[in-house]
Amino acid sequence: MRASEQVVDRLERAQALDPVAGRVNAFWSTALRSQRLRDLLSGRQLGHPLHPAAVLVPAGTLLSATALDLTGDPGLRPAARRLIGLGLLSAGPTALAGWSDWLDTEGAERRVGIVHAASNAAGLVSYGASWWQRHRGGSGLAAGLVGAAALGLGGWLGGHLAYALGVGVDTTAFHHGPADWTDVLAADEVTTALRQVDIGEVSVLLTRVEGRIVAIDNRCTHRGGPLADGERDGDCVVCPWHASRFDLATGDVRQGPATRPQPVYEVRETAGRVEIRRCEIRALRANPAGPAPDRVLAGRR
């Protein structure tokens, strides 16, 4: 195991962080209790989490300031100071979006997340000190370099959260339902109640909307909550874990923190039986365990 993997493995198992994370969670749960604010910070309107996109502004401007410093040209120092100021101003909303996402994590994800946030906070404090030193006539170079190193560590942990731990990733990304019409149950067994049906390793939610049978993936795209255990609210289902709301007919997100819609299945009734299918064009979803010999993707033969 590489040294970097050993570091994050120890961090994921560091239960000593749990009391601190618990207190921080209590603070942000109160500060971000507005559902409308959480919905905005989640990035629902973008179709993916807001935090990874928003972080480009503070990270880009702050690291650009350090790059200008390293050129050694004194004439670029005013530009570097302005970049630091812009980065610090944009860091607030970006951090709020990150804390909003972090509230819905647990265990290893929560521990890595709290250190990720602490690293970024240290970087911002260092850059703040650098800006102040520049304002007073100093170079601010050393503080800026410390800030860049801290932000680098925070960015590395952020990448681990997303790409290794899957925080912010659509939890149905590798789900592959039946591509051919598949019998699941009798039509009279489907009512307006939420009904879960398992097809292989995929769980599907069936119900009726205006008398028509509809089917969406039962696993919430946000953190994987079982939608069949949630509540129905009109033509929507509310996830039992974090209260994301999805349209039962279209799978669209009506309320965050989810940002990705639920996969929708085609449904038909044949001789009193319900059949469903989902024609998938996404390669990773269509081949979650690797392509079988008779299912090599087009263009790879």
Q: What is the pLDDT of residues 136-151, one digit of tens each?
A: 999 999 999 999 999 9
**Phi, psi angle pair for 236, to nearest 5°:** -120, 160
- pLDDT for position 1: 65
Rounded alpha-carbon distances, angstroms, from residue 175 to 107, 119, 289, 291: 24, 34, 10, 14
Joined tokens for residue 291: 């392509």
Report residue 287's pLDDT band, with 50, 70 and 90 as the boundaries.
low
**Is the per-residue pLDDT at 293 higher than 50?**
no
Q: Residue 175 is which amino acid? A: H
- Classify domain 182-289 at the CATH class level: mainly beta
Q: Is 283 helix (H, G, I), strand (E, B) or coil?
A: helix
CA distance 285 to 201: 13
What span, in angstroms and rounded, lies between the C-alpha atoms of 48 and 38? 14
Residue 132 has what pLDDT? 96
Instruction: Give the range among 94-98, 109-113, 272-276, 277-281 with minimum mean pLDDT.
Output: 277-281
Grade residue 23 by pLDDT with cuts at 50, 70 and 90: very high
Give the chain's mean pLDDT: 91
**Three-point CA angle 262, 263, 269, nearest 5°:** 120
If phi over 0 gives left and psi between -120 and 50 gives alpha, with beta otherwise, what is residue 140? left
Over 50: is that where the pLDDT of 300 sits? no
Confidence of residue 291 (pLDDT cuts 50, 70, 90): very low
Q: What is the model's pLDDT at position 41? A: 94
Question: Is residue 234 classed exposed, middle or buried when 0-12, 13-18 and 19+ CB atoms within 10 A define those classes?
Answer: exposed
Q: What is the pTM of this model?
A: 0.86
pLDDT-based confidence at residue 238 (cuts at 50, 70, 90): very high
pLDDT at 177: 84
Alpha-carbon span 98 to 149, nearest angstrom: 20
Q: What is the pLDDT of residues 33-89, one digit of tens each?
A: 998 899 999 999 888 899 999 999 999 999 999 999 998 888 899 999 999 999 999
pLDDT at 292 over 50: no
User: Cβ neighbours of residue 283 under 8 Å, at least 6 residues apart?
Assistant: 297
On the question of pLDDT at 10 being above 70, the answer is yes
pLDDT at 294 over 60: no
Mean pLDDT for 20-43 is: 94
Residue 281: the pLDDT is 80
Neighbours of 229 (CB within 10 A): 13
203: left (phi over 0), alpha (psi -120 to 50) or beta: beta
Q: Tell me: cis bond preceding 261? Omega within 30 of 0 counts.
A: no
Kindly state the DSSP code that residue 164 receives in the 8-state scheme: I
Phi and psi torsions of 219, nearest 5°: -90, 120
What strands lie across the sheet with 236-238, from one edge to the other? Answer: 231-233, 236-238, 245-247, 253-255
Neighbours of 174 (CB within 10 A): 15
Supply the pLDDT for residue 296.
36
* List of residues 6+ apart from 271 with CB closer than 8 A: none
Domain boundaries, the chain: 3-164, 182-289
> pLDDT tens across 173-193, in order?
888 888 899 999 999 999 999
pLDDT grade, residue 288 (50/70/90)? Answer: low
Neighbours of 280 (CB within 10 A): 16
| pLDDT, tens only, 110-130 | 999 999 999 999 999 999 999
Looking at residue 214, its amino acid is V
List, in order, residues 6 or more apart from 80 with CB less than 8 Å away: 65, 66, 68, 69, 134, 144
CA 213 to chain centre: 30
